[in-house]
Amino acid sequence: MSEERNMIPLILTGIGTIIGTVGCLWFYGYLHFAKPEDALLLSDFTMLKTVPGEDYKISVTPAAQVAQCVDGVLVMFDTEQKGLSGVLVNNKKQAVRCMGQETPQLQQ
């Protein structure tokens, strides 16, 4: 008794399951499709030079970003938008380094 099965419903079920899973993951925020707009400038930062003997004024309210040293590079996290982070760079797109940790060196 050799019985042939129709494979088309099984294939369509598999494809539908994959599409449904990806849709649910995207809807609940576990899957993100990156766009070129995601790499745009988040905020402008300015360095205030400190001169001994001179006072400078800053705002009492803190910024919405916090910074942390990760592998010798200053990484900034946004506290208002969950999951938004980036590397602090200068106008030449060079990463700002940290002195709190050793910069990783290439081992030979």
54 and 21 in a common domain: no
* Model pLDDT, residue 82: 75
Given this model, what pLDDT does residue 42 score? 60
Of residues 40, 52, 47, the one with CA closest to residue 67: 47
Q: Are residues 28 and 52 in the same domain?
A: no
Do 59 and 28 belong together in one domain? Answer: no
Mean predicted confidence (pLDDT) in 3-12: 89
Q: Is 38 part of a structural domain of the chain?
A: no
**What is the per-residue pLDDT across 41-87, written as a single tens digit (0 to 9) for each?**
666 777 777 888 888 788 888 888 888 888 888 888 888 877 777 88
The residue range of the domain holding 5 is 1-33
- Whether residues 71 and 108 fall in one domain: yes
Q: Indicate the number of domains in the chain.
A: 2
Alpha-carbon torsion, ordered 105, 106, 107, 108, to 10 deg: -140
Would residue 9 count as lying in a domain? yes
Do 55 and 108 lie in one domain? The reply is yes
Q: What are phi and psi of 85, to 5 degrees?
A: -145, 165
23 Cβ partners below 8 Å, 6+ apart?
A: none
Please give the biggest Cα pair distance in the chain: 97
pLDDT digits (tens, 9 = 90+) for 14-43: 999 999 999 999 899 888 877 766 665 666
Kindly state whether residues 18 and 51 are assigned to the same domain: no
DSSP-assigned beta bridge partners for residue 89: 95
Residue 21 has what pLDDT? 96
Residue 40 is assigned to a structural domain of this protein: no
Residues 62 and 106 in one domain: yes
Q: What is the pTM of this model?
A: 0.48
The verdict on 27 and 52 lying in the same domain is no
